[in-house]
């Protein structure tokens, strides 16, 4: 059965930024596919709600509240996964982001922060995860090894005013994905998703008015804003046997955009 290739029975996944939005939807999706999940985010109450949803589908969840801008805290998730589950098969680097700013308001410090939160955190988690994932892969008698999915953005490949720090950092994460895939083949696959406009808290300011929402939808070829489950389903594909012949790729899950689908109205510099 082809659907059997989309199962993740008894695998173990780490999902960061899992308190809400794409991270929460992903944690529940991989659990529905059969995995146990270690989830982490800043807010314990949000994580508790996700744990309840995971346990409702019969899988085990471990919540680790943490400030994931702290690289030591990110790396510590691997030790916790080892202690709780004894193995690690899937890593989803979902934590990240940066607020849009005009060019002259984007200081070097803001640029460094964007790289730290979007790229350094991913590496801080993946580096200690690799030995544990390889241990599972090399002991599994030739089964497909581990999978890593990094959450990049459409703004990492298209140009739009205001996204200098965010777009540059997400572009760096996309190329990090390609380079890591080369380093970690053949046992660990590394892919990324270039996410378009998805209805999460990051878009709250847009969703507050019909005018802005309609403009965002009108600028998207599929004429809708994405939902977290659109991304979660792609992560299940990339993390399961269904995606076992895919590595070093950036999947564009963005409604078909080839440019920013909302003009932030930033004026020309004078």
Cα–Cα dist 197/217, whole Å: 9
> Of 163, 166, 176, 237, which residue is the catalytic one?
166
Cα–Cα dist 189/120, whole Å: 19
Instruction: Count the neighbouring beta carbons within 10 Å of the beta carbon of residue 99.
Output: 13
Distance between terminal CA atoms of the chain? Answer: 62
Whose tokens are 């999902």? That residue is 15
Contact 213, 206 (CB under 8 A): yes
Instruction: Count the neighbouring beta carbons within 10 Å of the beta carbon of residue 48.
Output: 13
Q: Annotated catalytic, 166? A: yes
63 membership: H or E segment, kind and range: strand 61-65
Alpha-carbon distances of 85 from 35, 141, 270, rounded to whole Å = 11, 20, 58
Cβ neighbours for 219, distance < 8 A, ≥ 6 positions apart: 257, 260, 261, 262
Task: DSSP for 85-140, please give it.
Answer: HS---EEEE---------GGG--HHHHHHHHIIIIIHHHHHHHHHHHHHHHHHHTT
- Catalytic annotation, residues: 166
């Amino acid at each position: 059965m082809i659907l059997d290739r989309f199962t993740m029975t008894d695998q173990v996944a780490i999902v960061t930024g899992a308190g809400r939005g794409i991270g929460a939807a992903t944690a529940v999706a991989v659990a529905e596919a059969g995995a146990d999940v270690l989830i982490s985010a800043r807010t314990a109450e949000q994580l508790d709600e996700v744990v309840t949803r995971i346990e409702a589908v019969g899988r085990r969840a471990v919540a680790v509240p943490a400030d994931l801008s702290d690289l030591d805290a990110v790396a510590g998730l691997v030790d916790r996964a080892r202690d709780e589950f004894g193995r690690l098969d899937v890593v989803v680097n979902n934590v990240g982001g940066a607020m849009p700013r005009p060019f002259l308001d984007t200081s070097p410090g803001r640029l460094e922060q964007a790289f730290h939160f979007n790229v350094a955190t991913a590496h801080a988690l993946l580096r200690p995860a690799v030995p544990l994932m390889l241990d599972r892969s090399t002991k599994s008698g030739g089964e497909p090894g581990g999978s890593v999915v990094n959450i990049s953005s459409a703004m990492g490949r298209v140009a739009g005013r205001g996204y200098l720090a965010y777009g540059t950092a997400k572009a760096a994460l996309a190329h990090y994905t390609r380079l890591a895939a080369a380093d970690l083949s053949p046992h660990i696959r590394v892919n990324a998703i270039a996410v378009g406009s998805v209805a999460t808290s990051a878009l709250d300011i847009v969703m507050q008015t019909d005018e802005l929402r309609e403009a965002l939808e009108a600028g998207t070829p599929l004429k809708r804003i994405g939902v977290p489950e659109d991304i979660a389903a792609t992560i299940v594909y990339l993390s399961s046997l269904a995606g076992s012949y895919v590595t070093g790729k950036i999947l564009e899950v963005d409604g078909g955009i080839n440019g920013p689908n909302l003009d932030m109205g930033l004026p020309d510099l004078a």
